[in-house]
Chains A and B, each alone.
Chain A
Amino acid sequence: AQKITQTQPGMFVQEKEAVTLDCTYDTSDQSYGLFWYKQPSSGEMIFLIYQGSYDEQNATEGRYSLNFQKARKSANLVISASQLGDSAMYFCAMRGLSGSARQLTFGSGTQLTVLP
Chain B
Amino acid sequence: DADVTQTPRNRITKTGKRIMLECSQTKGHDRMYWYRQDPGLGLRLIYYSFDVKDINKGEISDGYSVSRQAQAKFSLSLESAIPNQTALYFCATSDAGTGKDEQFFGPGTRLTVL
Contact = CB atoms under 8 A, between A and B. Distances in A.
A43 B100 contact: no
Interface size classification for chain B: 20 to 34
Contacts of A102: 50, 101
B90 to A, nearest CB: 6
Contacts of A9: 40
Given A33-B101, A47-B103, A103-B58, A108 B42 contact: yes
B103 A104 contact: yes
A103 B68 CA distance: 17
A103 B48 contact: yes
Contacts, number: 52
B40 A108 contact: yes
Contacts of B103: 35, 47, 104
Interface stretch (B13-21, B22-30, B104-112): B104-112
Given A43-B107, A45-B90, A91 B42 contact: yes
A50 interface: yes
B12 interface: no
Nearest to A9: B40
A44 to B, nearest CB: 5
A52 B100 contact: yes
10 contacts: A33-B101, A43-B88, A43-B107, A47-B102, A95-B101, A102-B101, A104-B103, A105-B45, A108-B41, A108-B42
